[in-house]
Amino acid sequence: MSRHQLRLWQVECAVRGSALLHTGIALRLDGELDEKRLTRAVASVLGRHELLATGFHADGETLTLGPAVPHETRVQYRPDLRPDDAGHLAEVRRWATEAQTEPFPLTGEALARADLLILGDGDGDGHGDGHGDGDGPGDGDGERDGCAVLVLTFHRLVMDLFSLHQVVADLQEAYAADGPPARADRYSALLAARENRRSRDWEFWRVALAGFPTPWIGERRPEPGWLPAGAELRLPLPADLPAVLRTGAREARCTPTVLVVAAAARRVLEHSGADDLVLGTMSANRMNSDAVGPLAQAVLVRVGARAPYGEEGPLAQVRRGMREGMAHQGVEFEEIVELLTDEKGVARDDLAPLSVTVTDDSWRTSAAGLTFTPFDLEEDDDTAEPAAPVVRPSQLDVELNLSGTRPELVVTYDRACFGPDWCARFAAGLLADLRT
């Protein structure tokens, strides 16, 4: 296992039997659903990736890994439920939540499973009255017009967010092709490659983070022992901004992520007066995007006039910093954190005062007449008080969602460090920068 997996295992030992370390996605399937084809696609995807076909057996706090047969998709038929009925939708959400929170027994099974709920009678052939288990409706070769919900559940020992994107993309491709996909790169081989480069990667990070700056970028520094008081600012993006951003990134010969990170860094440097800033951004590269497993990690990037290559400006610094950071991931992010906090005395809250993430709902698509859409597990309740978001270790967390359905800018901040007016000015300036 990777060092990150070992840390996750320590957490699992403390919370055994809970769903704290579960992750996954619920997908709403609309259109011509071929049940057999879908279950074959799920099986092929879970068998494609080494870690999803690995069995985990726990004996106390000792974990043994070995081969395992991927789980078959568990199918339920609910002809009494309709997706356009609010009361029925609540029942579907309860079912999906139960599927995602069911513990993995850790008795040698794979830590990935799929549950499929088929709603209504459907119009396809060979489905009978819609009742039964795996030997009942759906056993025929016909297709079903209607709605279903597919829940994919994983333990974090085998999955992270970027790997989840890969699995959903694999599922769509496998369903469209209705054939076995090519074998994915092995997770264990990727870990071995990381180990072989650890010594030179360590040297890179020690040099890159020498004289680590710890600027406070907010309006005021709270007293020691402060507790986070989460707040959010959400702004819908103009409809044309995602396209403008992608065009600008092509002209700047970089990715939209690089462009957004550089714009946010430039604004924070301007507002805080800092001339050397280390920020954090999530990396989807991981040396290989096709290998599924908990490998995603933040990459630290140094920007500012006094940072290396300061004369080149934030865009060039971010482009270089992300490229070099992703090329030196033989050392995991948590190890870099330990280097800075234990050896250099950096407070964890000062580690990356700015964190930037760029996301896109890339799994929203259609394949072979079947539409895949994320299914919202949260019930709509306009009367409930919105829960305060959890503030992450960063002082300021910026997320730009470029999805085609609800593009928005989300700024998460701490009320003890920032005022809403400051965040509003920052967000307006950032959006203006991205447009120009």
Q: Does any domain span residue 371?
A: no
Instruction: Give the pLDDT confidence score for residue 137 in this predicted structure.
Output: 47
Mean pLDDT of the chain: 86
C-alpha–C-alpha distance, residues 15 and 9, integer Å? 10
> What tokens appear for 119 in the block?
């709603």
Instruction: Give the pLDDT confidence score for residue 387 in this predicted structure.
Output: 61
Which of the four pLDDT bands, split at 50, 70 and 90, describes residue 426? Answer: very high
Residue 404 pLDDT > 80: no
Q: Does any domain span residue 314?
A: yes
Of 165 and 431, the one with more pLDDT? 431
Which of the four pLDDT bands, split at 50, 70 and 90, describes residue 29? Answer: very high
417 and 279 within one domain: yes
CATH code: domain of residue 237: 3.30.559.30
179 and 207 within one domain: no
For 131, counting Cβ atoms within 10 Å of its Cβ (0-12 exposed, 13-18 middle, 19+ buried), the class is: exposed
295 and 164 within one domain: no
pLDDT tens for each residue of 190-238 = 888 888 888 899 999 999 998 888 888 887 776 666 666 788 999 999 8
167 and 110 within one domain: yes
Q: Which amino acid is at 15?
A: V
Residues whose CB is less than 8 angstroms from the CB of residue 33 and which lie 6 or more positions away in sequence, other chains included: 118, 122, 124, 143, 144, 145, 146, 148, 370
> What φ, ψ does residue 27 adopt, rounded to 5°?
-115, 130
> What tokens appear for 68 in the block?
């395992």
pTM: 0.83
End of a domain among 184, 217, 250? 184
End of a domain among 135, 158, 184? 184
Q: Which domain holds residue 407?
A: 202-361+384-435
- E strand or H helix at 37: helix 35-48
Beta strands in 171-308 (DSSP E): 230-236, 277-283, 297-303
Which of the four pLDDT bands, split at 50, 70 and 90, describes residue 312? Answer: very high
Q: Does any domain span residue 401?
A: yes
Domain count, the chain: 2
Instruction: Give the pLDDT confidence score for residue 157 in this predicted structure.
Output: 96
Residue 323 pLDDT > 60: yes
The pLDDT of 405-413, averaged and rounded, is 88
168 and 310 within one domain: no
310 and 265 within one domain: yes
238 and 163 within one domain: no
Q: Which amino acid is at 239?
A: A
Instruction: Give the pLDDT confidence score for residue 260 in this predicted structure.
Output: 95
Q: Does any domain span residue 56?
A: yes
C-alpha–C-alpha distance, residues 68 and 65, integer Å? 9
Which of the four pLDDT bands, split at 50, 70 and 90, describes residue 284? Answer: low
237 and 124 within one domain: no
Query: Rg of the chain over CA atoms, in angstroms?
Result: 23
Q: Does any domain span residue 257?
A: yes
Residues in the chain: 436
CATH code: domain of residue 47: 3.30.559.10
388 and 287 within one domain: yes
Residue 379 pLDDT > 70: no
What is the distance, to the nearest Å, from the Cα of residue 37 to the centroid of all Cα atoms in its chain?
27
145 and 37 within one domain: yes
Instruction: Give the pLDDT confidence score for residue 8 in this predicted structure.
Output: 92
Of 381 and 31, the one with more pLDDT? 31
296 and 173 within one domain: no
Which of the four pLDDT bands, split at 50, 70 and 90, describes residue 330? Answer: confident
Q: Does any domain span residue 254?
A: yes
The pLDDT of 48-68, averaged and rounded, is 95
End of a domain among 153, 184, 215? 184
Instruction: Give the pLDDT confidence score for residue 7 in this predicted structure.
Output: 87
Task: Find which of 108-112, 269-273, 385-389 is predicted with most confidence, using mean pLDDT.
Answer: 108-112
The pLDDT of 23-27, averaged and rounded, is 95
Instruction: Give the pLDDT confidence score for residue 295 in this predicted structure.
Output: 81
Q: Does any domain span residue 57?
A: yes
253 and 178 within one domain: no
Which of the four pLDDT bands, split at 50, 70 and 90, describes residue 276? Answer: very high
Q: Does any domain span residue 174?
A: yes
pLDDT tens for each residue of 64-77 = 999 998 889 999 99
